Amino acid sequence: MKLVTAVIKPFKLDDVREALSTIGVQG
């Protein structure tokens, strides 16, 4: 979770959520 938080901090929550959704869809 720490890594996720570190990634979320520099980016907007919306951008991160979209990225996570894309990664989840791609596998």
Q: Which pLDDT score, from 0 to 100, does residue 17 have?
A: 81
- Provide the domain count of the chain: 1
Residue 24 Cα distances to 2, 17, 20, angstroms: 19, 10, 6
Q: Which pLDDT score, from 0 to 100, does residue 26 have?
A: 72
Inter-residue contact 2 to 10 (CB < 8 Å): no
Per-residue model confidence as pLDDT tens for the chain (27 residues): 576 666 656 666 777 788 888 887 776
Domain range for 20 is 1-27
